Structure formats: structure tokens, C-alpha cells
Structure 1
Amino acid sequence: MLQAKSNMCQGIKQLKQELTRDDVGQLNAQHSAISEPLLGKEFERQEQSSDCDTYNAYIKIKDFGRDKEFRSVDELQSALSSLYKGRHVSIIYSTKPYGLLATVFVSVDGAGEVYETYGDQSPVDFSAIKDELFCKTR
């Protein structure tokens, strides 16, 4: 066992000696040439369309174990107004730029209007949720 470790260490030392700074520079240049265009295309694709209907967004209503996921903010708003009248639930969605989750606690009155449960209890701004929503390709 000790001999095997010694042989491995010698092999690593030999590789380090053979690898010059120029080799490292070439490897880094190759890596950048491959990865940067791919990253650029991904960001381009996300910037071209802010409409999440063609992308996969994470939007969920949490309702004490009766959770429901939605594909768009319009679906969410429609469901809240029609199916959750007189209820208090939370909306969870992924936000730009990295997909971190945001939570909004909402109350739906008998008429189907959706208000923030805490704070000034203002109507929920669904357009702001659309603007903040992080969408990723399928």
C-alpha cells in the first residue's frame, strides 16, 4: 500500500514537470473558446423572450399540502381568482437572475380579488411577478 502511494506521488511529480505554463495557457484558451459561446447563446435565448409560455417556469401555490404548480402567471392568476375564493395561500416562484425562490402570502376575497396577506394588504401585482420570473429552457 505504501509503495503504491509512493509510485502515485512520483507519477504526479513527473506530470507536473512535463506540464509547462504554455500548456496550461493553451488548455485555458481551449476551455474558454468552447464554453463562452455556449454561455452566450443560453443568455441570448433567455433575453430574447420574457414570455414564459415557451419556457419552463417554477410557479406554485402552497395550500397546506394541497400544492398546485402552474406554467404561467396568467394560469396562476386565473386559478387564484376562481378556485381559491375566501382562502389564504402562498405563491412561490423562481426569480431572475439565478432562480432563487420568492414567496408571496396572499388572501383571495369572495369576489376573487387577490391581495397581499401582510403589510399594506394591497392588490398583488402579477405583472411584477411576470417581470421577476426566472424561466429556463426545457
Structure 2
Amino acid sequence: MMRSWNLSLVLVLCGSAAATVPLLSGSPVVAVALLLVFVVLAGVHSPLVFPKSIDALEAERRSAIDGRPVVFWRSGCAYCLRLRIRLGRSARELYWVDIWRDPAGAARVRAANDGNETVPTVVVAGRPHVNPDPEWVREQLSPSA
């Protein structure tokens, strides 16, 4: 499944366009600062921040075997980003499903959230949890949980 770089690309292009005005006006420091802000935003919303997404059916199959949680997320979601950052390295142990890239994942989230695509939705042992506390998610990864 191909990772989506569209939002990151748009942010870099917008930053380049926005930085052009101060650069042409003789303010290279302002232009560089503006471009840097957009590049950081692009990086935060890029697929590099999140582990590689898999499709929902594969994630649920793997989760049934090893018991690890499945996280349904989408690019640009501040709550998904918060979860990802607060999980740190342990985020790699979860199965991530990008609902904008996987229609079955989006359908699973809608079924769990009264028709809404509310993310992050974390499925643990078949039960969905909407926007859970990152510490709780980390606890679900421990063998004693």
C-alpha cells in the first residue's frame, strides 16, 4: 500500500509560495523562517512520523494472532499525532491503519463510532476505544495486560 505524501507536498509548496513574498521584498530571514515552519509541519504530517500502514483486514488478522492493538488513524489528525508522539518507540509495536487509504478501515471506524470517522480509534481484543490515553494504549502492549 502506497503511503500518502499529498498533505506534506502541499505544505511544502504553500511554504515555498509564502516565503517568496518576503524573499522578493528583501527579507531573507523572514522567508527562511516561514519556509522552515512549513517544512516542519510537512514533516510532522508525513508518513515518516507514523509506522507503515497496513489494510484493516490484515491488521485485524495479525491482532487476533498476537493480541496487539490496531490503531485506525488519518493524516492531519492532531489527536493521532499526539497518540503517535506520546507512544514513542512502542508505537512500532501496534498495527496502524490509515482510514484515508483503506476503505475497509474507514468502514470499521464508522461502525464503531455511530457513522463518524472519529480517529484515533484503537481496537483492543475486538473492542474499539476512541481517542484513548496513550499510557493506557502502552499498557495494552505489556504481556501482563
Q: TM-score range by the shorter chain?
A: under 0.3
Relative to the length of structure 2, the TM-score reads 0.23
Structure number with higher strand proportion = 1
Could you tell me the TM-score, scaled by structure 1's length?
A: 0.24
Q: Report which of the two structures shows the higher radius of gyration computed on alpha carbons.
A: 1
